[in-house]
């Protein structure tokens, strides 16, 4: 099966994935990981840069006994450079690998690739559209940190318009009751009309804000995001908004004592490094959780 979007999952499937991720975490902690993917080959093909997603998927595969073939700059060092279509790339990869992990800058590209092959494809991010494995590791992080997935207030801060993190996590959190969302951004990066319609049509409780301090004392999860330079066609537009929200220690002091600060990483300057030593700073723990959820997802696509 392909993993293209968090919208494809039902709640019971998500709960099983979270449980399996917990099993993987325990097995690694106990140095007792089964080589369930022994003999499998996983292709990790990234047309956009990645540190955490690519390396955690490769580590997940290796921990489970699989072998890896990869391209970390596929836009420049694969046949895409010569004009090969994403469909033909997927066809070729399916000849060599048992599963494909793919990132691409164009929204919808991974779904396009999935239509020409039965080899499982996992979407590792397609432009500003979806990043389902990020959404699932975020959900796992919130569950670990708070012990629940309901009755939460979550604020997303920064580049709301282009955030595939937001688009991937919100559908998962709406599976649980009484969750409220705050979307905090400069006016140039507010929710797109289509996504705002999706939220309204599905009865999702949300507010849009332009001021970070409006929500600090209310939230259980403060999710900071990077203003994504690569999504801007005009560098002047990026420069205008890139420093709109910078989280500092004085902001952290206004958070609840058990609130957590998340970030998909990489960060640029939107979280002061002084905050790293704060117990509420969960973003490096969050990145570590990516390994466990991606081990669970690799097993999931092979029905193991």
Tokens at 146, concatenated: 């708070």
- Told to judge if 52 belongs to the known catalytic residues of this protein, a careful annotator would answer yes
- Told to judge if 131 belongs to the known catalytic residues of this protein, a careful annotator would answer yes
Catalytic residue among 40, 52, 251, 294: 52
CB–CB of 17/296 below 8 Å?
yes
- Told to judge if 2 belongs to the known catalytic residues of this protein, a careful annotator would answer no
Where do runs of H (alpha helix) occur along the chain?
11-29, 52-63, 74-77, 86-96, 109-114, 132-146, 164-173, 193-201, 235-241, 249-252, 283-301
Q: Does residue 161 lie within any of the structural domains?
A: yes
Catalytic residue among 53, 133, 141, 225: 53
Which range has the worst mean pLDDT, 53-57, 131-135, 182-186?
182-186
Pairing of strands 206-209, 121-126: unpaired
Catalytic residue among 40, 54, 63, 103: 103
Residue 81 sits in the same domain as residue 25: yes
Residue 137 sits in the same domain as residue 280: yes
> pLDDT tens-digit profile of 215-262?
899 999 999 987 765 655 556 655 666 666 789 999 999 999 999 999
CATH number at residue 139: 3.40.50.1370
Supply the range of the domain harboring residue 145. 132-287
Distance separating alpha carbons of residues 129 and 140, to the nearest angstrom: 21
Catalytic residue among 54, 131, 144, 226: 131
Q: Which residues neighbour 94 within 8 Å (Cβ) at sequence distance 6 or greater?
A: 100, 117, 118, 119
pLDDT on residue 231? 59
Residue 188 sits in the same domain as residue 118: no
Report, as an integer, the average pLDDT of 164-183: 95
Distance separating alpha carbons of residues 234 and 230, to the nearest angstrom: 10
Residue 97 sits in the same domain as residue 77: yes
Torsion of CA 135, 196, 232, 141, to 10 degrees: -20
> pLDDT tens-digit profile of 28-67?
999 888 899 999 999 999 998 888 999 999 999 999 999 9
Q: Does residue 15 lie within any of the structural domains?
A: yes
pLDDT on residue 16? 98
Residue 112 sits in the same domain as residue 147: no
- Told to judge if 6 belongs to the known catalytic residues of this protein, a careful annotator would answer no
Q: Does residue 1 lie within any of the structural domains?
A: no
CB-neighbour burial class of residue 276 (10 A; exposed 0-12, middle 13-18, buried 19+): exposed
Residue 140 sits in the same domain as residue 68: no
Residue 181 sits in the same domain as residue 232: yes
Residue 95 sits in the same domain as residue 240: no
Residue 80 sits in the same domain as residue 174: no
- Told to judge if 103 belongs to the known catalytic residues of this protein, a careful annotator would answer yes
């Amino acid at each position: 099966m392909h993993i293209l979007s968090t919208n494809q999952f039902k709640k019971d499937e998500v709960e099983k994935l979270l449980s399996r991720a917990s099993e993987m975490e325990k097995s690694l902690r106990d140095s007792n990981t089964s080589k369930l993917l022994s003999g499998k080959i996983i292709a990790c093909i990234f047309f956009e840069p990645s540190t955490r997603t690519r390396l955690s998927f490769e580590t997940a595969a290796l921990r489970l006994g699989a072998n890896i073939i990869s391209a970390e700059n596929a836009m420049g060092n694969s046949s895409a450079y010569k004009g090969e279509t994403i469909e033909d790339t997927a066809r070729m990869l399916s000849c060599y690998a048992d599963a494909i992990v793919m990132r691409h800058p164009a929204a919808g590209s991974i779904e396009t690739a999935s239509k020409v092959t039965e080899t499982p494809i996992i979407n590792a991010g397609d432009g500003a559209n979806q990043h389902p494995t990020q959404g699932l590791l975020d959900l796992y992080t919130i569950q670990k940190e708070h012990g629940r997935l309901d009755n939460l207030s979550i604020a997303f801060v920064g580049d709301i318009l282009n955030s595939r993190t937001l688009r991937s996590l919100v559908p998962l959190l709406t599976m649980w009751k009484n969750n409220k969302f705050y979307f905090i951004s400069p006016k140039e990066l507010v929710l797109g009309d289509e996504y705002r319609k999706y939220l309204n049509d599905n009865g999702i409780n949300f507010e849009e804000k332009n001021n970070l301090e409006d929500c600090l004392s209310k939230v259980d999860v403060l999710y900071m995001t990077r203003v994504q330079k690569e999504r801007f066609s005009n560098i002047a537009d990026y420069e205008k908004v890139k420093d709109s929200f910078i989280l500092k220690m004085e902001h952290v002091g206004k958070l609840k004592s058990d609130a957590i600060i998340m970030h998909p990483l990489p960060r640029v300057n939107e979280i002061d490094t002084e905050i790293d030593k704060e117990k509420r700073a969960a973003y490096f723990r969050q990145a570590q959780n990516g390994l466990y959820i991606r081990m669970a997802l690799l097993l999931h696509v092979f029905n193991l």
